[in-house]
Chains A and B, each alone.
Chain A
Amino acid sequence: MDAANKSLADALHFSFRLLSLIMIVALGALLLTGMARIKPQEAGLKLLFGRIQGTGEDRVFGEGLKLSWPEPVGRVERVSIKSKELKIDDFWMHEKPDEINKRLEDRRPTMAGLRPGYDGALLTGDRGLVHVKFTCLYKFKGDREDPGRAAPSAVIDYLSNIADPEDVVRSAVCNAAIHASATRTAEAIYSKDHEEYIKDILARAQKQLDDLDSGIEIDRILRDRATVPIIAISAFNAVTSAKMEHDTAINDARAEANKILRNAAGVNWRKLIGDLEEPGLIDGYAIALQTDDRAEASKLLAEMDAAGLLAPYPEPRKRAGAEAAGRLLAETDRKALQKQAEGVGADLGKLKGTPGEPALAERYDAARKAGNQKLAAGLLAAMDKAGLLNLYADLETRCRSEAAGKLLADIGRLGIRQFALQVEKAGHKKTEQALEEEIERIGLLRLYARAREEENRQLPKEVLKRKEALSAELLKEINDTLMSHKTEGEAAGVIQAAIGQSAKVREQAKIQAELFQQLIKQFEADPGLMLSRRWMKVKQEVLSAETNRKYYLTPGQKTNLMISEPPEISKRMEELKLRKEK
């Protein structure tokens, strides 16, 4: 019995020791669960009974060895703060494995349409379809003081609010892409200039993520690939080719035109002809008025204003400014006005005013009522500078039209060059420069033609005289340009030939006159001898010329003369005759 009890006791003792060892190991393993090594691209939170430990920014810590209560009492929650990349193929076509590396142009489409569920695509604003692949790079929002570090609040937001971060980001980007594509043409999406498109997608997707308190910030969205459906690629490429051909044809024509004109007059052709293609702002505006093209006229008015051509006519703008001030003061919906001001880029501060300084419109009204014209004019100018006139497009258009009308009238009356002189004297430097550019664009020949047209009108004598003087001045300038050493080519050839011929004629006349003066003396000394000598000399020359032939006819004998002409000579004679007749 003792032996049995002893062996039982031994067994129990052994079991107890084994159990103790197991419990020690288990305890050790349990304690290890409270240790965590946070890597450099990780952030961690200490949890005690599921509650985040610490306050404020101390709740989140960076790399290093961290200790906490062992599980299940506590734990260290780890999260990767590395920037993540998400490939979004939702809008790409279905690709077979052997097609992936093939060029799009080399692929054969299996059918004409897209297969919903297989082929993704984006619908565009011009009722087109494009396939697009995106890559979205996102990370935690950065710390304000250390943007390279994830903001603790962003990490906590992310862990507290978002169960499926990848799905959330994908959904936000897809939704943003659908919206951004729906208002654009297919070209705007698949062309090289798609920065605005990507910007819109990023902004919208980020807003979506912020609304969900995700703590996620989209770093970048890349448009990896974009194409129209494969079956339509050749049609789109045809447009690209046609556009290139169009541009090439125009460039070639410009080069040819340049060559023609350089051959005609060298570099001076520009001074004579001006701009071959663009009519200039003033002429363009006049043409737009004639053809009743209001959109073009409006556009040119804005450009003329920007170029300073309307600066000599401040009165219409002053009147419009006064009217704008009146409207601003009468405006009751201040919010709508502010929004409108933001939309046109007007200075909100000047519109609303500040605690120490009332709004410009109010100050203008006060100055006007007080009769302080100078101050009122200054405040109007300040309102204009602040862009407050831009709030009322109709006023702006009206004052520009009025000023442009006066400009056209003055140019019509004086001619553009005289007008430019007047502007120069008045000190409008910007306008003067703009007018010089306009004059260059018109060219001397067109200016002369206009001046000559003016002469044909029924005008008072003094005005007509002035016009004639202007035409004469222009003609002189044209001739001086043609005679200048910079004029080359055909024009120079014609003039040089004329100069040469003129000189030759003069020279010949001079030689003949001098010879005559010499010979007259001899003649007066002995006329008979002199005449005989001259006659003999000429006879000698003529009869002894190498290519001349002499035949002596036998006196008293009938002589038959047979003339045969070689055929080529007859032909040449005929050709000469015909050319002369032409």
Chain B
Amino acid sequence: MGKHGWIIFLVVVVIVLLLAYSSAFIVDFKQIAIVQTFGKASAPIDGAAQAGLHFKWPWPVQSLARYDARTHVFEDTSGQIMTNDNQTVIISVFCGWRIKDALKFLRRLKTVKEGEQRLRDLVQERKQRIVSGYPLSSFVNTDKDLMRMDEMEQKILKSVREAADEEYGIEVRALGFKSLVVAKAVSQKIIKNMESERKEKAERYTSLGKAVADAITSRAEAARKQILAFANTRAQKIYSEGVRDAAELYHVFRGNERFAVFLRRLEFIRQAFAENTVFLLDPSVERGIGFFKDGASLDPGDGSKPQPTKTPEQP
């Protein structure tokens, strides 16, 4: 082949490549593609089942629209909603969606961005309508039987799903509340309530603690008194037994009661005047002491009055 032959060959190769590039297309496993012939769309090519190399006529005969078939998630704008008991809540919703009917999607919407926007508007409108039909106690309640959040989400999902499918060929796969708060003024009230409830609770704890503590110590005191009452009764009995035994021993005094009485009196005197006693004595009664009256004198020993002993005369 001459020089010109090579050039011609190269040009032909380039043209063929260009034609191939504009005619062949790949549909990925994550995509859906639609071929349009002079603007008329043919059946979508779903990458899940029909991924691979496909061909079309080059533009302007045929053009290609390609969409991501996966699930996308967006969060709608938070908006204030008045519940049916006049409480203001601010709710945002997340929505997981994907293109189900690509033909319908293509016909109704230009781009995915537009599709998402339409869906957002739908979600907002349905959310507003449905949520406003419930009281706040359906959103938050310690009694699970009164909770209706699942019901609300299901209603919004069902409503949005039906509309999105019918109008745009969009499948809404998941929908739920992503944030749920209250308006600032309401939150102020809530926080104030929280504070006053806790204050009450704290006071209750303190007074209850004191009351229970007092009750415990009172019961303990009462129990102590009971124990001591029984102990005293028992002690009395023990003492009585001792006294009874002593009384039996004292029977021996019956042998000579007068002598026994005399001894007891002596014992009494010994104990009563054992210490710190002042005696005022009359020497005339105490014959031994008469020794000092007008001089010492011996007790005659015969019961007569003692005579003063004369002072011995001086030689």
| Cα separation A523 to B261 with both chains bound (whole Å) | 13
- Specify which of B147, B209, B239 is in contact with A249 (CB 8 Å cutoff): B209
Contact B226 A494 (CB under 8 A): no
Binds A, one of B123-131, B134-142, B160-168, B298-306: B134-142
A257 contacts which chain B residues (CB < 8 A)?
216-217, 219-220
- Specify which of B73, B188, B256, B266 is in contact with A164 (CB 8 Å cutoff): B73
Contact A513 B250 (CB under 8 A): yes
Contact A516 B29 (CB under 8 A): no
A127 contacts which chain B residues (CB < 8 A)?
136, 140, 190, 193
B235 contacts which chain A residues (CB < 8 A)?
494-495, 497-498
Q: Does A121 contact B (CB under 8 A)?
A: yes
**Which residues of chain B in 66-82 are interfacial with respect to chain A, using CB atoms and an 8 Å cutoff?**
68-75, 78
Contact A535 B242 (CB under 8 A): no
Chain B 228-260 interface mask (CB, 8 Å, partner A; 1/0): 101110111011011101110110110110011
Q: Chain A's interface: helix, strand, loop or mixed, by majority?
A: helix
Chain A 21-41 interface mask (CB, 8 Å, partner B; 1/0): 000000000000000000000
Q: Does B27 contact A (CB under 8 A)?
A: yes
**Which residues of chain A in 92-151 are interfacial with respect to chain B, using CB atoms and an 8 Å cutoff?**
112-117, 120-129
Contact B227 A491 (CB under 8 A): yes
Contact B245 A250 (CB under 8 A): no
A256 contacts which chain B residues (CB < 8 A)?
216-217, 220
| Cα separation A236 to B202 with both chains bound (whole Å) | 9
Chain B 180-224 interface mask (CB, 8 Å, partner A; 1/0): 111111111011111100110111011011101110110111011
| Cα separation A48 to B29 with both chains bound (whole Å) | 10
Q: How large is the interface on A (under 10, 10 to 19, 20 to 34, 35 or more residues)?
A: 35 or more
Q: Chain B's interface: helix, strand, loop or mixed, by majority?
A: helix
A126 contacts which chain B residues (CB < 8 A)?
142
Q: Does B94 contact A (CB under 8 A)?
A: yes
With contacts A185-B142, A245-B209 taken as known, whether A552 is within 8 angstroms of B289 at the C-beta atoms is yes
A47 contacts which chain B residues (CB < 8 A)?
28-29
- Specify which of B78, B201, B230 is in contact with A239 (CB 8 Å cutoff): B201
Q: How large is the interface on B (under 10, 10 to 19, 20 to 34, 35 or more residues)?
A: 35 or more
| Cα separation A339 to B206 with both chains bound (whole Å) | 45
| Cα separation A543 to B269 with both chains bound (whole Å) | 11
With contacts A51-B52, A238-B199 taken as known, whether A519 is within 8 angstroms of B263 at the C-beta atoms is yes
| Cα separation A508 to B96 with both chains bound (whole Å) | 104
| Cα separation A421 to B235 with both chains bound (whole Å) | 32
Q: Does B311 contact A (CB under 8 A)?
A: no
Chain B 272-312 interface mask (CB, 8 Å, partner A; 1/0): 01111111111110000100110000000000000000000
Contact B269 A542 (CB under 8 A): yes
Binds A, one of B57-65, B100-108, B170-178: B170-178
B residues bordering A, Cβ < 8 Å? 3, 6, 26-31, 47-48, 51-53, 68-75, 78, 90, 94, 96, 98, 136, 139-142, 144, 147, 149-150, 173-174, 176-188, 190-195, 198-199, 201-203, 205-206, 208-210, 212-214, 216-217, 219-221, 223-224, 226-228, 230-232, 234-236, 238-239, 241-243, 245-247, 249-250, 252-253, 255-256, 259-260, 262-263, 266, 269-270, 273-284, 289, 292-293
A-B pairs, 6 with minimum CB distance: A502-B242, A246-B209, A498-B235, A257-B220, A509-B246, A253-B213
